[in-house]
Amino acid sequence: MVARDDVHYFGAGPAPLPTPVLEEASKVLLNYKDKGIGICEISHRSPDANEILAQAKAALTNLLDIPDDYDILFLQGGGSGEFSAAVYNLVSIWVEKRRAKAEKELGESVSEGELKAKVLERLRKEVDEELKLDYLVTGSWSLKASQEAARLVGAQHVNVALDARKANGGKFGQIAAESEWNLTPRKQNGGPALVYFCDNETVDGVEFPAFPSSLEGDDAPPVVADMSSNFISRKVDVRKYSVIFGGAQKNIGNTGITIVILRKSLLPPQSTLASPELLRALNLPVGPIVLDWPTIAKNNSLYNTLPIFDVWVAGQVMSGLVQAYGARKIEGQEEISNDKAKMIYETLDKYPNVFRVVPDKSVRSRMNICFRVGGGDAEKEKSFLAGAEKRGLLGLKGHRSVGGIRASNCKLPRHASPHAHYALLLDKYLRTLRQR
């Protein structure tokens, strides 16, 4: 039987969770708080469930310094579910703002009986001519998000403001200068319904080095960021985003929940979604209730049955980071993530005749280190993976869509030592390979 401490997992999917969390989980699965029943058996509407939610929210708020005017939601559906939720919610808000403005302006010049028809006529014209959703496509996941938006509202409403493949021979691996992006112009009471980007592309090993300056400003449109694979790995200024989301399984917990951080100004009473009747009249989609942010927020994430065990695991991981780093908060974890990435990249760069890092150096992901062995030779990469597995280095195979090797560095260390033990081991293996 292989010992847990002898294995170092680099896969980009479900996270290798801290061993102490799993040991405690094995206990609460059988008997939670000495109640005689397991945590998976308690009611999701019980005081215990609400306490678990509150503790997870408090830990995340502490780590990221989330301001009071933001809310934290726990949902299901993964990051892919939020591809759709962002479209449903923010397009609906865009329409409602336009409806209210039209009603105010047209109400002074037409009778009450004519007003509804005039407003609908104007809205149809504005939707046809002005509704835009901006996407920065820098890898496989942002591409999928843009494709989902086009599926829901029509390709004519989706503006791919950046397609990173155009500057890189048809492949992902670079991010063009912001001056080259084709963002929808900002207008008074207008602009795009959202600007969307994936902060870290898990498949392609590309990460935004910082928040785009072109998306800042008081008149900035709602900015939506997918942080599934670099959540709680570095300090972020939450106020620059309208929405941050991510599946918990990458580096916060186990598969089953999605975390959404959003401005309360997107929720009633500060903001209102357009009615389903109006959206249908405009040939726009009406989203399912389980992806409706106001409904989830109103019900404290408990509108439908939430997997409380998954929330508990995420809360335990985040609380452990709070305890480990104290006043440094997420900066403590950021330092470890950066050190591990630096160690591996330096080794890869030292032997370019053996290893080739895929993305451009300016946008290399700290989380997902994508590289090729022997120029991408299939047999050499197969041999590399076999040798790695013998040494207890698992999950290094690249995504099926791109191949190659991928060392996912976002995973939290499972061992008692805070040092990058598995990064050291991979570094040692890379050094032996370059001699072959």
If one compares 206 and 14, the residue with the highest pLDDT of the two is 206
Query: How far apart (Å, rounded) are the C-alpha atoms in residues 60 and 338?
Result: 20
The 3-state DSSP class for residue 12 equals coil
Q: How many domains does the chain have?
A: 2
Examine the pLDDT at 421 and tell me if it is beyond 50: no
- Tell me how crowded residue 95 is: count the other CB atoms within 10 A of its CB: 22
pLDDT confidence of residue 113: 74
d(CA 323, CA 53): 18
Same domain, 118 and 14: no
Tell me whether residue 386 is in a domain: yes
235, 351: one domain: no
Task: For residue 324, give every residue at least 6 positions away whose Cβ sits within 8 Å of its Cβ, in sequence order, or none.
Answer: 332, 418
433 pLDDT above the threshold of 70: no
Asked if residue 159 is part of any domain, the answer here is yes
Say whether both 363 and 227 belong to one domain: no
Considering the domain boundaries, does residue 319 fall inside one?
A: no
In a domain, residue 320? The reply is no
User: Residue 51 and residue 270: Cα distance in Å, rounded?
Assistant: 27
What pLDDT does residue 416 have? Answer: 33
In this predicted structure, the answer to whether residue 242 has a pLDDT above a threshold of 90 is yes
pLDDT bracket for residue 111 (50, 70, 90):
confident
User: Do residues 276 and 377 share a domain?
Assistant: no
Phi, psi of 378 (to 5 degrees): -60, -45
Establish if 187 belongs to a structural domain: yes
* pLDDT reading at 283 higher than 80: yes
Q: With helix as H, strand as E and coil as C, how does 186-199 read?
A: CCCCCCCCEEEEEC
Is omega for the bond preceding 352 within 30 degrees of 0, making it cis? no
Looking at the fold, whether 132 and 231 belong to one and the same domain comes out as yes
Among residues 277, 310, 343, which one ends one of the domains?
310
Question: Quick one: average pLDDT of 242-271?
Answer: 94
- CATH of residue 103's domain is 3.40.640.10
Q: What is the pLDDT of residue 417?
A: 34
- Beta-bridge partner residues of 74: 259
Mean pLDDT of 110-120: 86
Predicted pLDDT at 427: 66
Calculate mean pLDDT across residues 291-314. 96
Mean pLDDT of 27-52: 95
How far apart, in whole angstroms, are the C-alpha atoms of residue 11 and residue 16?
A: 9
Q: Are 304 and 250 in contact (CB under 8 A)?
A: no
Residue 350 domain boundaries: 4-19+329-433
How high is the mean pLDDT of the chain? 91
The average pLDDT across 197-207 equals 96
Q: Could you tell me what percent of the chain has a pLDDT over 90?
A: 76
Cα(304)–Cα(290) distance, rounded to whole angstroms? 7
Residues 111 and 216 placed together within one structural domain of the fold: yes
Is a pLDDT exceeding 60 seen at residue 385? yes
299 shares its domain with 367: no
Q: Are residues 131 and 178 located together in one domain of the fold?
A: yes
Q: Give the end of a domain, one of 245, 279, 310.
A: 310
Same domain? For 305 and 422 the reply is: no
Are 103 and 239 within one domain? Answer: yes
**pLDDT, position 273:** 95
Crossing angle for the helix pair 140-153 and 78-106, to the nearest 10 degrees: 40
Q: Which CATH number is 368's domain given?
A: 3.90.1150.10
pLDDT of residue 33: 95
49 located within any domain: no
- 260 and 377 together in one domain: no
Q: What is the pLDDT of residue 409?
A: 79
Please give the share of the chain, as a percent, with pLDDT higher than 70. Answer: 93
Flag whether pLDDT at 13 surpasses 90.
Answer: no
**393 touches 10 (CB < 8 A):** yes
The model's confidence at residue 423, banded by pLDDT at 50, 70 and 90, is: low
The verdict on pTM exceeding 0.75 is yes
Give DSSP secondary structure letters for 166-232. Answer: GGTTTSS-----GGG--PPPP-TT-S-SEEEEESEETTTTEE-SS--GGG-STTPPPEEEE-TTTTT
In a domain, 116, yes or no: yes
120-145 pLDDT, tens digit per residue, is 999 999 999 999 999 999 999 999 99
What per-residue string of b and e applies to 290-301 under the rule 16 or more CB within 10 Å gives b? ebbbbbbbeebb
- Cβ-contact 60, 318 below 8 angstroms: yes
Q: Is the pLDDT assigned to residue 415 strictly greater than 60?
A: no
- DSSP code of 36? S
Task: Give the pair of three-digit tokens for residue 323.
Answer: 């305890």
User: Are 242 and 303 within one domain?
Assistant: yes
CA atoms within 13 A on the CB side of 397: 9
Of 276, 310, 344, which residue is a domain's last?
Answer: 310
Confirm whether 322 is domain-assigned: no
